[in-house]
């Protein structure tokens, strides 16, 4: 009987590993093909039969980032993503802590209102923001895109971070205040270090959203504040699509996210599992 159970567990483990590897392969093949396409000439890329063996070239990268000024769009994406994330964290983390720890009138309604900003699709906000920013004279600037991204990332940060704060026993703050800390001191010196993995995980997801966001950057950002995703349609012309350059730009877009995820992977795993096990 024990041997049968052992064999069943082994088979289940093999099936799970096979399913995971199949899923990873399914997800990785398009990305791998994009990298290969970025290293091909236009002739190799448009060949009727897919070419796996070819002479690689880097000419697509200077063409798209220097000749087509995608380097400027890369800097715009970096400035807008970092700025919107920083402002959202500065506002969102204290707000999430206050909702988690303090009681006030209509607390539940207030938190629901914050979540409700995520219920409508972004396109529902695009037109009102366009009119509002136009009246304030900031349409087509970095500030317009940053403010638009904050409206989405801020509610996400508050929602996620409140869950992290809820998992921390309130006795920790009480003990810290008994030792002479103020409420702000307990929050800064005791609570924040504990939820650091959660902040890292939340920050990474918020950064990814802002980095990949297309609609707001296209509608609210002008030529001076255009981001990389919003610049991609410029490679689709009436004369044809520049697939090799599009692949080169797409490859570079993924690099910052991969680097961040690799550097922060330890904190990311801890953040995603934070509070999963109750004592």
Task: For 79-138, give the secondary structure using H, E and C.
Answer: HHHHHHHHHHHHHHHHHHHHHHHCCCCCHHHHHHHHHHCCCCCCHHHHHHHHHHHHHHCC
pTM check: above 0.85? no
Tens of pLDDT, residue by residue over 83-142, are 999 999 999 999 999 998 888 888 888 888 888 887 888 888 898 999 999 999 999 999
Instruction: Give the model's pLDDT for residue 235.
Output: 87
- Write down the domain spans for the chain: 67-272
Beta carbons within 10 angstroms of residue 210's beta carbon: 26
Q: Buried (b) or exposed (e) across 169-178, using 16+ Cβ within 10 A?
A: eeeebeebee
Tokens of 93: 């983390």
* 186 HSE (CA, 13 A, CB side): 20
pLDDT for res 279: 42
Q: How far is CA 145 from CA 74, 128, 130, 141, in A?
A: 14, 13, 10, 7
Helix (H, G, I), strand (E, B) or coil at 26: helix
pLDDT at residue 124, as a whole number: 86
pLDDT given at position 236: 85
The CATH architecture of the domain made up of 67-272 is: Orthogonal Bundle (1.10)
Predicted pLDDT at 276: 44
Q: What does the pLDDT read at residue 256?
A: 87
**Cα 205 to Cα 209: distance, rounded to the nearest angstrom:** 6
Query: CA 70 → CA 77, 93, 111, 189, 243, distances in Å?
Result: 10, 34, 40, 42, 15
Supply 150's token pair: 């904050």
Please identify every stretch of the chain with a pLDDT value under 50, giving residue numbers as ranges. Answer: 275-279
pLDDT in the model for residue 273: 57
pLDDT of residue 61: 92
pLDDT at 143: 94
What tokens were used for 163?
């869950």
Burial class (CB in 10 A: 0-12, 13-18, 19+), 38: buried
pLDDT averaged over every residue in the chain: 86
- Number of H helices and number of E strands within the chain? 15, 2
């Amino acid at each position: 009987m024990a041997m049968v159970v052992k064999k069943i567990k082994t088979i289940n483990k093999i099936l799970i590993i096979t399913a995971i590897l199949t899923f990873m392969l399914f997800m990785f093949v398009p990305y791998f093909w994009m990298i290969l396409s970025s290293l091909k000439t236009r002739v190799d890329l448009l060949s009727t039969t897919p070419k796996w063996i070819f002479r690689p070239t880097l000419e697509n990268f200077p063409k798209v980032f220097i000749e087509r000024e995608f380097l400027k769009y890369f800097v715009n994406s970096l400035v807008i993503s970092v700025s919107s994330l920083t402002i959202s964290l500065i506002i969102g983390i204290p707000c999430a802590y206050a909702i988690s720890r303090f009681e006030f009138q209509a607390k539940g309604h207030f938190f629901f209102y914050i979540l409700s900003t995520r219920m409508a699709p972004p396109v529902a906000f695009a037109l009102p923001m366009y009119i509002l920013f136009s009246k304030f004279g900031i349409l087509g600037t970095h500030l317009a895109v940053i403010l638009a991204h904050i409206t989405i990332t801020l509610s996400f940060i508050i929602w996620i971070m409140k869950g992290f704060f809820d998992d921390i026993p309130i006795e920790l703050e009480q003990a810290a205040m008994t030792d002479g800390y103020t409420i702000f001191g307990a929050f800064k010196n005791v609570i924040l270090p504990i939820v650091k993995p959660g902040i890292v995980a939340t920050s990474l997801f918020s950064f990814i959203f802002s980095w990949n966001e297309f609609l707001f950057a296209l509608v609210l950002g002008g030529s001076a504040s255009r981001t990389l995703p919003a610049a991609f349609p410029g490679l689709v012309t009436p004369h044809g699509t520049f697939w090799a350059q599009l692949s080169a730009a797409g490859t570079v877009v993924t690099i910052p996210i991969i680097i961040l995820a690799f550097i922060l992977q330890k904190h990311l795993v801890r953040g995603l599992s934070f509070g999963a096990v109750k004592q």
